[in-house]
Each structure stands twice: as C-alpha cells, then as structure tokens.
C-alpha cells in the first residue's frame, strides 16, 4: 500500500479484571474510509473506542493512529484524532461558540485562526445562527452536530465517533450521516464509528463485527452479506430441537438453533420452504424466508442472536451484565 | 509554556462563567457565612470572653471575622471543585481528557478558577462586613484601620495561597468520587469540623485535647495567618490556637504543596474510571 493505513490494530487485547473485553483484535482502516464497528452492547466496541481515544491504556498488542503509536506517543495521537463520545461532552451552561472556543484553546488554537475555524465549521454544520445560544436550549440533533464540530476543530486526520446517533430521531440520524459523507469527501477525514444499528452499519465502507471482544467478520457490507448463503429461513415451532433433528434426517440440512427459533442458510430457500411446510405441517408454527441481512451475518458467525431478548439466552445475558 | 497555560486559562475562565450563570451559588457561598457572622455575633456577644492572646477586649464578631473569611474561602473553593464530579458525570471531562494537554494543566485550570472565585468572595465579605456596622448589624470593628497598601497586598497574597490549598484539598476529595452525595458526607464529617477546630469559631483554650487538635489542624495556621495580617499594627500573644505569622505562612505553604501534589498525582493516574 502506498498510503499507510489511518488506523492499524495488531492483536489488541484488553482485560478488566477477569473479563476479557477485547481479544486478539486486528484490522487496518485505510485513509479516507468510513469504517464501522458493529456489535451488541458489551461486545467490546466501546472498550476498543476508548483504547483508541487514549483513555484506556494499551495492555497487549499494538495500535497506531495516523502513524502514531497509541501506547508510545499518546500526545501525538490526541493531536491527530477528533473524538465524539456517546454521552455528550458539551458544557450545557455555555453557548455553542463558548464550547468551541474552550475546545480550540485545549488544542492550542487561538486568535484569528480559531475564529475562522469556528465560523467555517458552524457554517458547514448549519449552526451559524445558533452560535450564541446555550447548548441546553438546542435539540439533540443539533447538540450532536456541535459535538462533531468540537471534534473537527483542530482538523484531525481521524475522527472517532462512539454511537453517534444514540438518542437521535431518524431525521437527525439521516442528516448526521449526510454530514459524515460530506466531511469525508471535503476534508479527507478517516472516520471510525461504533454502532449497534444495522442500518447505520450498512452506510459504512467497511465494517468489523465485534462479539464478546473478538472480530467475527470483516469486510464491506455487501461482502459480508454474500458470505452468508443465498437465503435465510427462520422457523419457529414448539420443540425446535426435535424439529432440527427431523429436518436433518429427512433433508440432510443443517439448521442452527438461535434462541427459540431454527435458522437455515441455503440457496433456493423457497424450494426448501415448500418442502418443509409439506413435511412438518404440525410442528412448524411459522416460517420466514429472507435475503440475508447484517444481522444474519452476525448470527451465522456467532451462533446467537444480536439482541439478547430470547429466554434461552438468559444465561448469556447475565454474563453480559457482569461485564459492565 | 503556552501549551500549558492556554488550557489552564481557558478552563479557569470556564469556571468563572459557569459560576456567574448560577446565581444561587453566589448567594449560598457568600450569604450564609455573612448570616452566621451576624447571628452568632449577636447571640454570643454577652457570653464571649476575649481570648488570652488578645491585647485588649474584643467582641465575638470581631474575633469571628477572620474565621468567616476562611469559611467563605473554604466553601467557595470546595464547592467549585464539586464541579469536577459534575463534569465527569455530564461528560465534559472526557473531552478534556482526550485533548492533547497535560493532566497537570487540567488540575491547575480547576484550582485557579476556584481560587479566583474564593478570594473574590472573601474580599467582598471583608469589605461588606465592617460596613454592616453602619446598619447596626455589627459592632464597629477596627479592621483595616492601620493597613497600608503593602499590608493589603500581603493579606490578598495569603488568602490566595490559602484558597489554592483549600481548592486543592476539595479537588483531591472530589476527583475519585462518583456522586456529589459522597462529597456532602465528607463535607460534614471532615471539612466542617476542620473549620470548627481551627480557631475560627472559638479559641479552644479550656481543654487540653481540644488545644492539641487545634494545634495539629493545618487550617489553624491559615486562620491565624489571616488574623495576624488583618491587624498588622497589633501585637497578639502566641498560643496554640494563634501561632506566630512565620509558622502560619510556612504551614500553609506546606499544606498547599501537599494538597496540590496529591491532586496532581490522583489525576495523572490513568484508570478505567476516566473512560466512563
């Protein structure tokens, strides 16, 4: 590669006490990419985010951002990155402009340079007319934009965003992504964004799926989807294990138990669907056929559902709970 | 140098702006001590005996004046550091922690902001307090009578030093805390008694153990220093609750150094807590 990667992780690992929050995480993000970290809550994405933002120390492995080593030269990393946290980092008692001024000073900017940057960013993020308003009077979407403006003030090469659309309505979320795409085009910023939303992950150039601290899939959204067979069948019934055994016996088809449902990945799923309904009319309560989604990719790679809402998953749920 | 002082300047400026936008804080930090001063002064007028070190008779209110000034320094300084808990909870702090500034600059930003607020309010009290004599709310106090410009400067310098020490003490307590409730608990079982037993409120000459506690309390030296600097003309005796000026300044400098070092040490430790 001619251009060195904007972010490079090699076998990064992180523990909190006994809990392995990150395990052997390696990937590269090319300059100018919008890269997504998709995973359920407790999957390790926020830990990874915090290590990259230099808030947590690198315990094992290596991470470089914009060519600087996170462990060896955190100061240089901090200058090179803009960080937008999941929870707001704005002072709500201060105005938009005051928040940006303090941020600029923290990054060593002052005087005319600072004022020009603030004016430009406010214009770019359509906030110019709100500059003298207190942050607490702004809508959630606008606050998030101020937050992003804050992260971009010192012209970082890499922008890290943790769950940027948390708490935003769909309209504001759409706007946010429009701004990100625009930024990438105009300022050639590399963007790393964590999310637990499938539709948000779809908008990334490439993404890594994290589960229980490990990377379970890495690629463009299209590559990931096409890695899962042709179609996905989801079958619900009273006795899923019994049904799975009988399906295997009769059709030599492997089905995966996911929560209280069975899942089958297969080309020409509609043929199998017809045969299954004919063969087990009494055992099948419902059956659904769909093209694979990123959620299917997640299930295919991990063997469990993205959301821990099924009864059978309660043991895992408590395990996740104890990690926090 | 600029990369250190620009963040310090901007963070302390933020403290001041936030303070003036929360009017109730001004009332709380200045109003309550003045009220105490008037009420205790009126209530204890009859029963108060001038301490042994006094060169002549002294009203309780006069005795109490430096104590109230220290109370204002302490309350303002310490309440401004509670904001570190709010900054952590509201998220502002995480933005500062990922900025390319040293954590020592973060500490100094908080301490400078808190100190300016504390000194300004204590000075306001020292001007307003004696003026209340005109309204009959206080006896006439001779403070300031024999003070030259240099004496005023020394007084301000010492108040700044003491405020810096107290802000740092509050900071070191607040930094590891998650909630302001915990801070209030520490306030009532540790900080308030520390003030009560500093010679600010009563001389404590009657009991041996009390005079020892007073002697070992670093704040005693703050109150004593302030008391002596307020009366440059007068010659007070030396007792456990009123050490001489030299030791007072020395102990306050040491106290300040210990609190500031502790604050910096705590803040420089990078723990997973910072990432919350």
Q: pLDDT tens, B166-207?
A: 999 999 999 988 888 888 888 888 888 999 988 888 887 778
Across the interface, whether the CB atoms of A110 and B6 are under 8 A apart is answered yes
Question: Which pLDDT band holds residue A9 (cuts at 50, 70, 90)?
Answer: very high
pLDDT at B275 over 60: no
- Chain B closest CA to A111's CA: distance in Å? 12
Predicted pLDDT at B2: 77
Judged by a CB distance cut-off of 8 A, whether residue B24 touches chain A is: no
pLDDT, tens digit (0-9, with 9 covering 90-100), for A278-302: 888 888 888 888 877 788 788 877 8
Band the pLDDT of A320: cuts 50, 70, 90.
very low
A90 touches chain B (CB under 8 A): yes
For chain A, how many residues are written? 324
Average pLDDT over residues B29-55: 83
From chain A residues 259-318, the ones with a CB under 8 A of any chain B CB are none
Whole-number average pLDDT of chain A: 85
pLDDT at A309: 43
Categorize the per-residue pLDDT at B98 as very low, low, confident or very high, splitting at 50, 70 and 90.
very high
Query: What pLDDT shows up at residue B254?
Result: 97
Mean pLDDT of B145-165: 88
Instruction: Find residue A219's DSSP bridge partners.
Output: A207
Least confident of A33-37, B194-198, B211-215, B234-238: B234-238
- Assess contact for A104 and B6: CB atoms under 8 A: no
pLDDT computed for residue A2 by the predictor: 57
Percent of chain A scoring above 70 in pLDDT: 94
- The rounded distance, in Å, linking the Cα atoms of A283 and A243 is 7
Q: How far apart are CA B124 and CA B130, in angstroms?
A: 11
Residue B138's pLDDT band (cuts 50, 70, 90): low
B83, B85, B88, B92 alpha-carbon torsion, rounded to 10° = -10
Is B123 in contact with B210 (CB distance < 8 Å)? no
Of all residues in chain A, the one with the smallest CA distance to B8 is: A106
Residue A269: the pLDDT is 82
Contact A46, A196 (CB under 8 A): no
**Whether the predicted pLDDT of A317 surpasses 70:** no
Helix ranges (DSSP H) in chain B: 2-21, 23-26, 32-43, 60-90, 92-97, 103-131, 149-174, 180-186, 192-195, 208-216, 218-230, 245-268
Q: State the CB neighbour count (10 A cutoff) for residue B49.
A: 12
Which residue does chain A place closest to B106, by CA atoms? Answer: A106
Nearest CA in chain B to A46: B275
Least CB–CB distance from A56: residue in B9, B93, B275: B275
Q: Does A87 sit within 8 Å of B98, measured CB to CB?
A: no
Residue that wins the pLDDT comparison between A206 and A320: A206
Burial-class residue B57 by CB neighbours within 10 Å (0-12, 13-18, 19+): exposed
In the stretch 87-126 of chain B, residues with CB closer than 8 A to chain A read 90-101
Q: What is the mean pLDDT of chain B?
A: 86
* Interval A56-109: pLDDT, tens: 889 999 999 999 999 999 999 999 999 998 888 899 999 999 999 999 999 999
Give the pLDDT score at B47. Answer: 81
Q: Return the number of CB contacts < 8 Å for A and B.
A: 79
Q: Do B91 and A89 touch (CB under 8 A)?
A: yes
Token pair recorded at residue B155:
């007084």
pLDDT value of position B241:
75
Question: Distance between the two ends of chain A, CA-based, in angstroms?
Answer: 39
Those residues whose C-beta lies under 8 Å from the C-beta of residue A222, and which sit 6 or more positions away, are none
Chain B touched by A94 (CB under 8 Å): yes
Selected for mutation to probe chain B from A46, A57, A102, A140 (highest B CB count within 10 Å) is A102
Cβ proximity of B132 and B68 under 8 Å = no
What distance in Å separates the CA atoms of residue B5 and residue B114, rounded to the nearest whole number?
A: 16
Question: Touching check for A50 and chain B: CB below 8 Å?
Answer: yes
Nearest to A38 by CA among A177, A224, A256: A224
Closest residue, chain A, to B14 (C-alpha): A102
Distance CA A171, CA A191 (A): 21
Report the distance separating Cα B201 and Cα B204, nearest Å.
9
Enumerate the residues of chain B whose CB falls inside 8 A of the CB of residue A106.
6-7, 10-11, 95-96, 99-101
Helix runs in A111-209, H state only = 111-124, 140-152, 170-187, 198-202
Q: What is the total residue count of chain B?
A: 276
Query: Any residues with CB less than 8 A from the CB of B139 and at least 6 apart, and which?
Result: B41, B45, B59, B61, B62, B133
| Predicted local confidence at residue B115, as pLDDT | 95
- Crossing angle (nearest 10°) for helices A96-106 and A140-152: 30
How far is it, in rounded angstroms, from Cα A175 to Cα A190? Answer: 18
**Comparing A287 with B240, which gets the higher pLDDT?**
A287
Whether residue B14 and residue A90 make contact (CB cut-off 8 A), yes or no, is: no
Model pLDDT, residue A254: 83
Task: Return d(Cα B199, Cα B242) in angstroms, integer.
Answer: 7
Residues 6 or more apart whose CB falls under 8 angstroms from that of A216 comprise A209, A210, A298, A301, A302
Give Dmax (Cα) for chain A. 77
Chain B from 130 to 169: CB within 8 A of any A CB: none
pLDDT band at B144 (very low <50, low <70, confident <90, very high): low
Complex-level ipTM beyond the 0.90 threshold: no
CB B101 within 8 A of CB B154: no
pLDDT in tens, A222-278: 888 877 767 888 888 888 888 888 888 888 888 888 878 888 887 778 888 888 888
pLDDT band (50, 70, 90) for residue B221: very high
User: A105, B6: Cβ pair inside 8 Å?
Assistant: yes
Q: Which of A181-185, B187-191, B233-237 has the lowest mean pLDDT?
A: B233-237
Q: Quick check: A91 and B18 CB within 8 A?
A: yes
More confident residue, B72 or A321: B72
Q: Inform me whether the pLDDT recorded for A319 exceeds 50.
A: no
Tell me whether A27 touches chain B (CB under 8 Å).
no
Q: Please enumerate in sequence order all residues whose Cβ is within 8 A of that of A229, keeping only pairs 6 or more positions apart, or say none.
A: A265, A266, A267, A292
Check CB contact of B16 with chain A, cutoff 8 Å. no
pLDDT reported for residue A313: 37
Q: Given this model, what pLDDT does residue B143 score?
A: 53
> Would you state the pLDDT for residue B146?
66
What's residue A227's pLDDT?
78
Closest in B21, B101, B275 to A93, CB measured: B21
pLDDT band of A308, cuts 50, 70, 90: low
Label residue B24 by pLDDT band (50, 70, 90). confident
Does an H or E element contain A139, and which?
A: none
Question: Model's pTM, two decimal places?
Answer: 0.81
pLDDT computed for residue A188 by the predictor: 81
A212 Rama class: left (phi>0) / alpha (psi -120 to 50) / beta = left
Q: Which residues from chain A sit within 8 angstroms of residue B99, using beta carbons?
A: 78, 103, 106-107
Residues A123 and A120: their CA atoms lie apart, in Å, by 5
């Amino acid at each position: 590669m001619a251009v060195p990667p904007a972010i490079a992780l090699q076998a990064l690992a992180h523990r909190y006490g006994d809990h392995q929050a990150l395990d052997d995480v390696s990937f590269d993000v090319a300059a100018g990419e919008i890269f997504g970290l998709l995973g359920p809550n407790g999957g390790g994405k926020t830990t990874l985010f915090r290590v990259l933002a230099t808030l947590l120390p690198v315990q094992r492995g290596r991470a470089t951002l914009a060519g600087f080593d996170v462990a060896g030269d955190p100061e240089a990393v901090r200058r090179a990155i803009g960080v937008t946290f999941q929870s707001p980092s704005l002072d709500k008692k201060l105005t938009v402009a005051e928040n940006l001024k303090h941020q600029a000073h923290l990054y060593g900017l002052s005087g005319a340079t600072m004022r020009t940057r603030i004016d430009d960013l406010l214009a770019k993020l359509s906030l110019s007319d709100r500059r003298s308003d207190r942050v607490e009077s702004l809508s959630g979407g606008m606050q998030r934009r101020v937050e992003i403006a804050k992260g971009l003030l010192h012209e970082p090469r890499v922008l890290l965003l943790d769950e940027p659309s948390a708490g935003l309505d769909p309209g504001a979320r759409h706007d946010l992504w429009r701004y990100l795409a625009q930024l990438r085009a105009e300022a050639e910023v590399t963007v790393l964004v964590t999310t637990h939303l499938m539709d948000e992950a779809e908008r990334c150039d490439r993404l890594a799926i994290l589960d229980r601290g490990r990377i379970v899939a890495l690629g463009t959204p299209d590559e990931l989807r096409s890695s899962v067979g042709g179609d996905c069948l989801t079958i619900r019934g009273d006795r899923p294990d019994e049904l799975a055994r009988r399906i295997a016996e009769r059709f030599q088809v492997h089905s995966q138990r996911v929560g209280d449902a069975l899942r089958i990945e297969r080309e020409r799923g509609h043929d199998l669907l017809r045969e299954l309904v004919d063969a087990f009319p009494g055992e099948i309560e419902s059956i659904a056929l769909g093209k694979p989604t990123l959620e299917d990719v997640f299930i295919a790679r991990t063997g469990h559902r993205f959301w821990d809402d099924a009864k059978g998953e309660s043991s895992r749920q408590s395990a996740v709970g104890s990690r926090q | 140098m600029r990369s250190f002082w620009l963040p310090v300047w901007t963070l302390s400026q933020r403290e001041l702006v936030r303070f003036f936008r929360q009017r109730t804080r001004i009332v709380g930090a200045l109003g309550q001590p003045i009220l105490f001063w008037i009420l205790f002064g009126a209530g204890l007028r009859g029963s108060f005996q001038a301490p042994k070190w006094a060169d002549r008779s002294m009203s309780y209110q006069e005795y109490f004046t430096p104590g109230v000034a220290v109370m204002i320094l302490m309350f303002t300084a310490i309440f401004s550091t509670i904001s570190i808990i709010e900054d952590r909870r509201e998220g502002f702090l995480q933005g500062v922690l990922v900025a390319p500034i040293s954590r020592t600059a973060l500490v100094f930003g908080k301490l400078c902001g808190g100190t300016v607020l504390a000194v300004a309010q204590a000075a306001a009290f020292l001007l307003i307090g004696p003026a209340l004599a005109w309204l009959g709310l206080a006896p006439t106090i001779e403070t300031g009578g024999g003070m030259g410009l240099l004496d005023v400067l020394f007084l301000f310098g010492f108040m700044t030093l003491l405020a810096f020490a107290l802000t740092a003490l509050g900071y070191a307590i607040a930094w590891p805390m998650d909630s302001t409730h915990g801070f209030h608990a520490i306030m009532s079982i540790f900080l308030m008694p520390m003030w009560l037993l500093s010679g600010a409120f009563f001389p404590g000459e009657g009991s041996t153990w009390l005079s020892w506690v007073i002697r070992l309390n670093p704040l005693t030296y703050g109150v004593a220093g302030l008391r002596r600097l307020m009366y440059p003309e007068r010659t007070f005796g030396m007792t456990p609750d009123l050490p001489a000026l030299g030791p007072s300044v020395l102990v306050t400098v040491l106290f300040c150094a210990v609190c500031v070092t502790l604050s910096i040490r705590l803040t420089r430790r990078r723990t997973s807590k910072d990432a919350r």
